[in-house]
Chains A and B, each alone.
Chain A
């Protein structure tokens, strides 16, 4: 009988490392968008619908449906579920959904704006701990926060909710979106986040377009995008981020020159260890991938079919578009680019469309890295 028989405390990343080889696809986690509705009305948001949107609410997965999909996900090996939205706390049955997922043996994270946190949520999370909670910080003054959220009183609600979480020892990670409306406040937002969380803080300058293709809202998002030079500048001003970009730029999508001639669209890890379920029960390989050929209605199909049949088919998609092959597939700095097939589809309605803005951001980042190296 072997001697080393004692239990091994482990984490999801460690387990993924042990169980998933590079060549394998295996479900380890999934995102569950409980609702597309939100109490805020953020300028840059790619999903939010009004909190009282009755049609959206009627289409949302029921608890029974969530339970069935969670069973299927667990059968496929899922260990971690990220509850997101919209604002997931808007669901009146949030606590039931959360507990249901926990009792299936899933570790559960929640992404929220924290505005709707109540004492009941705190009690729930204290008794049945989260894996973690990610809270987005849109601003650290009322003026900036509500310029982004476009909801009077939301800054106060956010601070109250965040304070409740922190005072009760709930594990919170903070993140920020970098956009035109909070650009001037980003240093203060970063300081606030680092002061209030022991875990990492990250900011994201990538504003992608809406899932519903709403033209008016998409124009608002484009107006909120920082210029490529601004993005490169704020990234370089943050040593943690600039080092991460430099470190990872050789590792992201483009492992080596052998892929320069490859016509495959997907070189990221989408659909290899995770997937996303929309509020209405649509399977996607990642949250942004909404091309109609890449989604499957889980109200009519099994999750196993989506994972085992659709996902490999999507991952094997290729392009013969000359512009894409010339500009993107042969690009030496593609690892610095915001481009991916999902975002290309949201921008131009094609998975293999070249996106000028993303290309400009990549070149600005590359120039900033080169400049840093030469100093």
Chain B
């Protein structure tokens, strides 16, 4: 048994295993890139790189044949490669002065892998829109949706249902959500990832709420372009009365707001009104950003932008700091990074809003640390090799 375990360990920690994993990663990247043409970046990332296993279908040009090929997913391969690096590069490797450089390089690579894991699991990213003079302390996800329930005119507290709890509620599947603080239960069902709320025609049949139904569309290649919707049934806890409604994430561009979601469904219970909205996830930042000036340069003789940047004030704890955000010069503070992403304006050039991309990534700088560590390891190793060569050469000449 011990011998068997030793053999497994030897194989797993071998250089050949690492090469095999890297080749599989190469194949996944190649096949994923091809599939991206038809299915878009988001779907391909999920299928090929964030998965444990997947099935890639080769379509043969002859006889309409399809050949399904099961493959390990990118997540599984990288996890195995991570273990292989530890076993082979730290545990099994002979430890001496001569292998110090190699060990350091492996430590750098492991930090790089850990950074990727932390980014995948913990990073948040989205954007914020600001007109000159406007302030905000939150940013909005590109593609993560929540259901938000709030009491109108209340303290501002919002109950949120994360999308993991309703993404699977397609077709006839439903799930009931409840909270002690709410006078009603919410049953969610008929979720569509990309749809439009359209006026119902009575002869069509199917589920209708307040004269509207959800009409499904094929998924868009670019995930942020998908607009989800769901049917909700509100059941009053006291009277057991039921109300049918639709929540829809349809967004439209408003100059004063940027891309805004459809107004929420209103539910009344006694004298209180509650709003239920399907809206993109929002995160708070621990400081306020105010846009003081948005600057756009244009190509000579036209109104086409050649450069654009934002002059903002960061407000925190009564302190103000003026910062310029422009190409390759983001605002970095408390783990958040704000980049100049784009801007919106009317075709006559008025109503400008700056669009800032926001990242919160605990492993933001880990690739840098990793590269520095690997560089040090490489330097040590190469210097050692050079010295060894010079020593051998000198010995050869004197002999």
Q: Is B truly associated with A?
A: no
Please list the residues of chain A having a beta carbon within 8 angstroms of any beta carbon in chain B: none
